Amino acid sequence: MKVAVMGAGIGGLALAQGLLKVGVDVTVFERDPSPQYRKQGYRIHISPVGEEALAAMLPDAVRRRVIATATQPGDLVAGFDDQLNPQFEQVYPVAGPDAVTSVDRYAFRRALMTGLDDVLQFGKQFASYVETPDGVEIAFADGTSAVADVLVGADGVGSRVRGQLVPELDVLDIGVRCIYGKVPLTPAVRETAPEAFLRGFCFASNGSGLGAAFAPVVFREPPVEYGDYLMAVLTGTNPVLGASDDELFAMSPAELWAIVERSVADWHPTIRELVDAGEPGAAFPITLRTCIKVPSWSSSRVTLLGDAVHPMTPAAGAGANTALWDAARLTRALTSDKDLVTYQQEVIANSQPIVTESLHNAERMFKVSV
């Protein structure tokens, strides 16, 4: 069997590892021109669900790379108001030395690419497919084509594979924009940051829809490109951020960071100090999107995984973990007597409650109603 995976994101790469491990002929097609193309990392929480899926799919050498490049485990989720008065706190047991509880997105993807040199093709933007009695013919934007027995759309929230397979799915913009950034963890920043910001995920809010999340990314083994940092994300609607989408998405990273500085100008001095120490060149904007009902589809040769099938807000920290769960189930379906229809049913049953929870969390956190 020949499997073509569209998208070398978290789910697509994990699936390729799982299939390769059991000898399936798999090729991953990625639209980015190279693995180094986007170095913008951000912290992704890996839950026991994601960890279990990784353990099931990854060969030992790749799993060791993932563990080595993961971040040091945290033990806290906490909330504050904008003057840093504590609102809630949840402490977790500290995970063991081999545990993967959070990763930097770029470092994680690079680790998942270990040993995939012959499997990955960059600069290949999926355009369309045609199902034939013998398989699937795939067309790329550069005019080239490929054939496979099974096509997997692992091409993320804006999936073109889904666009053709399930054109009726509405992906909703929930109206919240994030300005994502990094504060390098210099000795001065470590000194300034509240202890909680160095222990886990912290969310500060002014109670009127403006929020700022902070979480440490302290590598076990940093990528060559950058070192430890504090993830810093400002969240709000366009009116709260004081910029329309046309303005926001045309801004330079430095202009975006200036919005963050302006937004927290009357917040606690420690937060202002941390933002002032940010890396202005690292800022970028993100639109938060979700589906409401996870779709079903009818094809025996084309299927979907991850954000392509169940786009969700990041407010439950579950998108990547669910993509990994899908990849593990799909590896099993493609290498056992389970079929793609069973896989699809499993994906819908598993992801629908998570999509709903992520949306409810986002509505509460960001004070929006979808």
Q: Return the number of the residue (152 or 240) whose C-beta is nearest ligand FAD.
A: 152
3-class DSSP assignment, residue 28: strand
Should residue 18 be labelled a site residue for ligand FAD when binding is judged by CB under 6 A? no
Stretch that binds ligand FAD, among 42-50, 80-88, 263-271, 331-339 (CB under 6 A): 42-50
Cβ atoms 204, 362 nearer than 8 A: no
DSSP 24: -
Closest to 262 in 3D by CA, of 245, 293, 283:
283
Distance of CA 296 to the CA centre of its chain: 22
Per-residue x/- track, 216-255, ligand FAD (CB under 6 A): ----------------------------------------
Q: Looking at the chain, list the stretches that DSSP marks H as alpha helix, in order from N- to C-terminal side.
A: 10-21, 48-57, 60-69, 105-112, 160-165, 187-192, 238-241, 245-248, 253-263, 269-276, 319-334, 340-366
User: If phi over 0 gives left and psi between -120 and 50 gives alpha, with beta otherwise, what is residue 143?
Assistant: left
Complex with ligand FAD: residue 24 or 152, whichever CB lies closer: 152
Stretch that binds ligand FAD, among 266-274, 301-309, 335-343, 344-352 (CB under 6 A): 301-309
Which one, 121 or 342, has the nearer CB to ligand FAD? 121
Choose the binding region for ligand FAD from 292-300, 303-311, 335-343, 356-364 (rule: CB under 6 A): 303-311
**CB of 31 vs ligand FAD, minimal distance in Å:** 4
Q: Is 10 helix (H, G, I), strand (E, B) or coil?
A: helix
Residue choice 3, 4, 5, 7 for contact with ligand FAD (CB under 6 A):
7
Task: Write the burial class of residue 300 (CB in 10 Å: 0-12 exposed, 13-18 middle, 19+ buried).
Answer: exposed
Round to whole Å and give the CA distance between 18 and 91. 33
Q: By CB under 6 A, what part of segment 123-162 binds ligand FAD?
A: 125-126, 154-156, 160
Give the nearest distance from C-beta 275 to ligand FAD in angstroms: 17
From 16-24, 40-48, 72-80, 113-121, span contacting ligand FAD (CB under 6 A): 40-48
Let me know: does 196 contact 142? Beta carbons within 8 Å: no
Residues sharing a CB contact under 8 Å with residue 283, sequence separation 6 or more, in sequence order:
179, 180, 181, 253, 254, 256, 257, 260
Question: Tokens 């091409």 label which residue?
Answer: 155
Candidates 143-151, 217-225, 257-265, 302-310: pick the segment binding ligand FAD (CB under 6 A): 302-310
181 near ligand FAD, rule: CB under 6 A = no
Q: Check residue 31 for interaction with ligand FAD (CB under 6 A).
A: yes
Binding site residues, ligand FAD, CB under 6 A: 6-12, 29-32, 42, 44-45, 125-126, 154-156, 160, 178, 180, 286, 306-308, 314, 317-321, 323
